[in-house]
A and B are shown apart, each in its own frame.
Chain A
Amino acid sequence: MKRSLALVCLLALLVPFALFAGGAQESATEAPVEEPYKVAFVYIGPPGDLGWTYMHDVGKKEMEAALGSAVETTLIESVEEGPDSARIMGQYARNGYDMVFATSFGYMDYALETAMDNPDLLVEHCSGYKTADNMSTYFGRMYQPRYLSGIVAGSMTETNIIGYVAAFPIPEVIRGINAFTLGAQSVNPDVEVKVVWTNTWYDPVKEREAAIALLDSGADLLAQHQDTTEPPKAAKERGALSIGYDADMGQFVGESVLCSPMWNWGPYYTATVKAGMEGTWESHQFWGGLSEDTVKLSAMSALVPADVQAKVTEVQASIVAGDWDVFTGPLYDQSGAMILADGEVMSDGDMLSMGFFVEGVVGTVN
Chain B
Amino acid sequence: MRIVLEKREARSKTVTVLVPIISFVVSLMLGSIVLGLSGANPLSTYGFMFKGAFGTWIDFTETLVKAIPLLLTGLGVALAFKLRFWNIGAEGQFIWGAIGTSWVMVFWNFLPLPLLLPIGLVMGMVAGAMWAGIPAILKANWGVDETLTTLMLNYVAILFAEYLYYGPWRDPDGFGFPGTKRFPQEGWLPRFAGRAHYGLFLALAIAILLWFLLSKTRWGFEIKMIGKNQKAARCLGVSIEKSIVVTLLISGALAGLAGATEVAGISHRLQKGIDMGYGYTAIIIAWMAQLNPLACILVSILMAGLLVGGDQLQMMVGLPSSMGLVIQGLLLFPLLAGSVFTEYRLKIVRKVEA
Partner of A8, one of B20, B47, B289: B20
Residues 48-64 of B, flagged 1 when their CB comes within 8 A of A and 0 if not, give 11111011101100100
Contact indicator B315/A95 (Cβ below 8 Å) = yes
In the assembled complex, which residues on chain A have CB atoms less than 8 Å from the CB atom of B139? none
Contact indicator A12/B166 (Cβ below 8 Å) = no
Question: Chain A interface: which of B84-92, B146-154, B248-256, B267-275?
Answer: B267-275
In the assembled complex, which residues on chain A have CB atoms less than 8 Å from the CB atom of B162? 199
Interface size in chain A (residues, C-beta < 8 A): 55
Partner of B314, one of A18, A77, A87, A94: A77
Contact indicator B55/A21 (Cβ below 8 Å) = yes
| Chain B binding surface SS class | helix
Contact indicator B272/A12 (Cβ below 8 Å) = no
Known: A10-B298, A10-B302. A87 touches B51 (CB 8 A): no
Contact indicator A6/B290 (Cβ below 8 Å) = yes
Of listed A24, A40, A77, residue having the most chain B CB within 10 A: A24
Residues 188-232 of B, flagged 1 when their CB comes within 8 A of A and 0 if not, give 000000110000000000000000000000000000000000000
Q: Smallest distance from the beta carbon of B240 to chain A beta carbons, Å?
A: 24
Residues A68-96 near B (CB distance < 8 A) = 74-78, 80-84, 86-88, 90-92, 94-95
Is B318 engaged at the interface, CB distance under 8 Å to the other chain? Answer: yes
Is B294 engaged at the interface, CB distance under 8 Å to the other chain? Answer: yes
Q: Smallest distance from the beta carbon of A12 to chain B beta carbons, Å?
A: 4
Is B333 engaged at the interface, CB distance under 8 Å to the other chain? Answer: no
Q: Smallest distance from the beta carbon of A120 to chain B beta carbons, Å?
A: 14
Residue of A nearest to B11 (CB): A1
In the assembled complex, which residues on chain A have CB atoms less than 8 Å from the CB atom of B194? 90
In the assembled complex, which residues on chain B have CB atoms less than 8 Å from the CB atom of A6? 288-290, 292, 294-295, 298-299
In the assembled complex, which residues on chain A have CB atoms less than 8 Å from the CB atom of B16? 1, 4-5, 8
Residues B286-322 near A (CB distance < 8 A) = 288-292, 294-295, 298-299, 302, 308, 311, 314-316, 318, 320-322
Known: A9-B20, A82-B274. A87 touches B308 (CB 8 A): yes
Q: Smallest distance from the beta carbon of A56 to chain B beta carbons, Å?
A: 15
- A87 to B52 Cα, complex, angstroms: 11
Residue of A nearest to B338 (CB): A9
Residue of B nearest to A18 (CB): B50
Of listed A4, A7, A17, A95, residue having the most chain B CB within 10 A: A17
Residues A89-143 near B (CB distance < 8 A) = 90-92, 94-95, 105-106, 108-109, 129
In the assembled complex, which residues on chain A have CB atoms less than 8 Å from the CB atom of B299? 6, 10
- A8 to B25 Cα, complex, angstroms: 14
Is B73 engaged at the interface, CB distance under 8 Å to the other chain? Answer: no
Contact-residue bracket for chain B? 35 or more
Partner of A171, one of B50, B58, B62, B176: B176
In the assembled complex, which residues on chain A have CB atoms less than 8 Å from the CB atom of B273? 80-84, 106
Is B348 engaged at the interface, CB distance under 8 Å to the other chain? Answer: no
Residue of A nearest to B325 (CB): A78
- A27 to B47 Cα, complex, angstroms: 10
Q: Smallest distance from the beta carbon of A185 to chain B beta carbons, Å?
A: 24
In the assembled complex, which residues on chain B have CB atoms less than 8 Å from the CB atom of A13? 20, 24, 302
In the assembled complex, which residues on chain B have CB atoms less than 8 Å from the CB atom of A16? 24-25, 28, 46
Contact indicator B320/A77 (Cβ below 8 Å) = yes
7 further A-B pairs in the complex, CB-CB below 8 A; given A13-B302, A21-B55, A81-B273: A6-B295, A12-B21, A80-B273, A83-B65, A87-B311, A92-B315, A199-B178
**Residues of A bordering B, CB below 8 Å:** 1-10, 12-13, 16-18, 20-25, 27, 40, 46, 74-78, 80-84, 86-88, 90-92, 94-95, 105-106, 108-109, 129, 168-171, 199, 353, 355, 366
A-B CB contact pairs (8 Å), 15 listed: A5-B342, A8-B17, A16-B25, A17-B49, A20-B43, A20-B46, A20-B50, A24-B46, A24-B50, A24-B51, A25-B51, A91-B315, A94-B59, A95-B315, A106-B273
Q: List 9 A-B pairs, minimum CB-CB distance, nearest first.
A: A24-B47, A82-B273, A6-B295, A170-B176, A9-B20, A78-B321, A20-B46, A17-B50, A12-B21
**Residues of B bordering A, CB below 8 Å:** 11, 16-17, 20-21, 24-25, 28, 43-44, 46-52, 54-56, 58-59, 62, 65, 162, 166, 175-178, 182, 194-195, 262, 266-268, 271-274, 276, 288-292, 294-295, 298-299, 302, 308, 311, 314-316, 318, 320-322, 335, 342
